[in-house]
Structure 1
Amino acid sequence: MTFAIFGAGGVGAYLGARLADAGHDVHLVARGDHLAALQTDGLRVESVAGDTAVDLPATDDPADVGPVDHVLFTVKAHDTRDAAADLDPLLGPETTVVSFQNGIDNERWIAEEVGDGHVVGGVAYIFSTIESPGVVAHTGGPARFVYGELDGSRTDRIEALHDALSACEGVEAVLADDIRVELWRKFAFICAHSGMTAATRKPIGRIRESPDSWAMYRRIVEEVVAVAQAEGIDLPDETAAEWVDFARDLDPEMYSSLHYDLTHGKRLELDALNGSVVRHAVDAGVDVPMNEAITGILRPWADERRE
């Protein structure tokens, strides 16, 4: 089976290496110093689930790859529209484009470029980053990947993807009954965790120690759940309590990718996270003051770093 990893960073390159180890034909689409290192030295993954090193074809031009069975789409959310416009050379009639990204709007944005028929929803639970060009560090998280057709159907192509990922070492593969529920479920957590660690510039341990901050963290989750339910997503009422319990047990020194981007001068995924909650809340008629506060605090930083 052939795969293109579009945006072969921490998440995409991890999956690419695991699929290659399982015997699949994998092509990496990357850029910059990371691409140069992949082309020269190959890809090395340093993982709590076991290290690996693979030498895979890597390019910044999808036309070098051609049509594949599956595109794993793992670019930052603020790059989704531009990157999706470059997908055409990778697409055959049955090619899936699986979004393993932050947020609940990416699938729609991709579909606007390539058509609904190609798009599959996905959720990634993994802490992995580019440690240095050509090197990905997987430091924690279950390496759990959840995916499914957006209409909930069990197609041949989604079953084939599930078989491929299930056979990979270091991957917990889950074929969802309703991927939209899974997308919103993770969204509720990541908006709270990313938003609060970035806005306070503090790790989760310090947020938990502050009653005001900890209450705000929970209210962000509750607001996202309320918006999801207002939009007809069957998200259980206990979702907020489950995520707060989960966050209570996280390493006290843990931050988030949004905090990392903020403190390292990078573009922010604000519009795909808390900013997206605010937009959806307007349409749904739900009040989201905590998400509005996070968006307002981080907006000047996000705007300054737009390309």
Structure 2
Amino acid sequence: MRFVIYGAGAVGGVIGARLAAGGADVVLIARGAHLEALRRDGLRVESAAGSARFALPAVGAPQEIDWRPGDVVILTVKSTETAAALAALAACAPPDVPVVCAQNGVSNERAALRMLPDIYALCVMLPAEHLSPGVVVQGSSPVPGILDLGRYPRAVDATAEAVAGALRAGGFDSVARPDAMRFKYRKLLLNLGNALEALCGRLDDGATEALDVLRAEGTAALDAAGVDYASAAEDRARRGDTLRVDVPRGGGSTWQSLRRGTGRVEADHLNGEIVLLGRLHGVPTPANDLVRRLVNAAARAGRPPGELTPSAFLRLLRR
């Protein structure tokens, strides 16, 4: 089994490095200055244990890969890039290549299933950061993350078990489970604060009210849509004390996108998912719509994190 990491940023870089450390064959797909650094110097992973360098093959597109039986794609691009990534895979990869969606949000698996038949949902609990070309930061040790997965929409098969085994060999806590999407929906509720964190630069105790409003709308929308999602208690039980963050991040994935000036964030697939469900089922979601619009505007304009405060966001919402 060879793993093709499609999107070797924060999450993809740590997953690829740990899989390789566990003995797996790994190929990275990246772009731009990051790809140049990977080809020139290898992938550098910073953690509490120090710095480690991984000399892994890196390409700029799936068309550059000599595909072979047993390949598995770990899709780790942002949700905004999923459509382009799937189109590229469908054009050159084997039609039965398994694709594991290790992404935030809940729309990627459905989109992938339109293009390819063997799709897996993976719930990412992995504190990581990528701000400099060729470098990713693993934020938790000794266990880098919790990566449970299952065949989409709800099953466990031999491929899911094999991928979970390879992830465990790389040091992750990973199990194959049929209800992986239930935990991805719970993660969606947690990720509704990503856009607010990016706008504010950092969330402190004063953000509690704003976060509560975002997540209350999210819960109401999921309930109205009849979505089955893991409870907060289930999520706490699964996490336990496994993740021990010993290298603090500047911020989450949306914060990192603003910080790097990528011009795009994935709020439409996080807060926007709640807005969509609210509109379909008659649930008002003004807070999620506002934070989605504000962070998209900031990304388009190239503004850095920290231009707003939680109290200012609430004032705008009340207007």
2:153 — aligned with what? Answer: 151
**Superposition deviation, residue 153 in structure 1:** 1.7
User: In structure 2, what residue type is equivalent to 1:3?
Assistant: F
Aligned to 1:44, the other structure's residue is in SS state strand
Conserved? CA contact 2:131–2:256, under 8 Å: no
Query: Which of 227, 231, 244 is matched with 1:233 structurally?
Result: 227
Indicate the residue corresponding to 1:43 in structure 2: 43
Change (3 A) 1:29 1:140: same
Which residue pairs with 1:270 in the alignment?
A: 267
Q: Deviations over 1:98-128 (max 9, x none)?
A: 111121111122223x23x221111211222
**Counterpart secondary structure, 1:204:** coil
Q: 1:158-307 residue pairs with structure 2 within 5 A? A: 158-169=160-171, 171-192=172-193, 194-199=194-199, 201-205=200-204, 208=205, 210=206, 213-236=207-230, 238=232, 255-266=251-262, 267-302=264-299
C-alpha distance after superposition, 1:253-274 (max 9, x if no partner): 9633323333543212121121
Give the 3 Å change call, closer, same or farther, for CA 151–163 of structure 1 in structure 2.
same
SS at match of 2:284: coil
Distance 1:195 1:176 in 2: 29
Deviates more, 1:62-71 or 1:269-278: 62-71
Q: Summarize the Cα distance change of 1:90–1:123 in structure 2 as closer, same or farther, 3 Å threshold.
A: farther
Amino acid at match of 1:279: L
Asked if the contact 1:71/1:90 (under 8 Å) is kept, the reply is no
Structure 1 residue 69 corresponds to structure 2 residue 80: no
CA offset digits 1:184-228 (Å, max 9, x no partner): 100000112x132234x14222xx1x3xx4222112112222222
Q: Conserved in 1, the CA contact under 8 Å of 2:29 and 2:60? A: yes
> Bigger CA drift: 31-40 or 279-288?
279-288
- What SS class does the counterpart of residue 173 from structure 1 fall into? coil
SS at match of 1:102: coil
Gap change, CA 1:240 and 1:5, over 3 Å in 2: closer
Kindly indicate whether the alpha-carbon contact (under 8 Å) linking 2:129 and 2:249 is maintained by their aligned counterparts in 1. Answer: no
Q: Which moved more, 1:152-161 or 1:92-101?
A: 92-101
Kindly state the Cα deviation for residue 233 of structure 1 after the two structures are TM-superposed: 2.4
Inter-partner Cα distance in structure 2 for 1:168 and 1:271: 32
Letter in 2 for 1:173: S
Structure 2 counterpart of 1:216, one-letter code = A
Question: Per the alignment, in what secondary structure is the counterpart of residue 172 of structure 1?
Answer: coil
Asked if 2 retains the 8 angstrom alpha-carbon contact of 1:69 and 1:94, the reply is: no
Sort the Cα spacing of 1:29 and 1:236 in 2 relative to 1 into closer, same or farther, 3 A.
closer
CA distance in 2, matches of 1:233, 1:103: 14
Structure 2: unaligned runs, 5 residues or longer: 303-319
Which has the larger strand fraction? 1
* RMSD of aligned residue pairs (Cα, Å): 2.9
Q: 1:236 to 1:172 in 2, by over 3 A?
A: closer
For residues 272 and 265 of structure 1, the distance between their equivalents in structure 2, rounded to whole angstroms, comes to 19
- Report which stretch shifted further, 123-132 or 154-163: 123-132
SS in 1 for 2:174: strand
Kindly tell me: are residues 104 and 241 of structure 1, through their superposed partners in 2, closer, same or farther at Cα, counting changes over 3 Å?
Answer: closer
What SS is found at the alignment partner of 2:97? strand
Output the CA distance in 1 between the equivalents of 2:201 and 2:59: 37
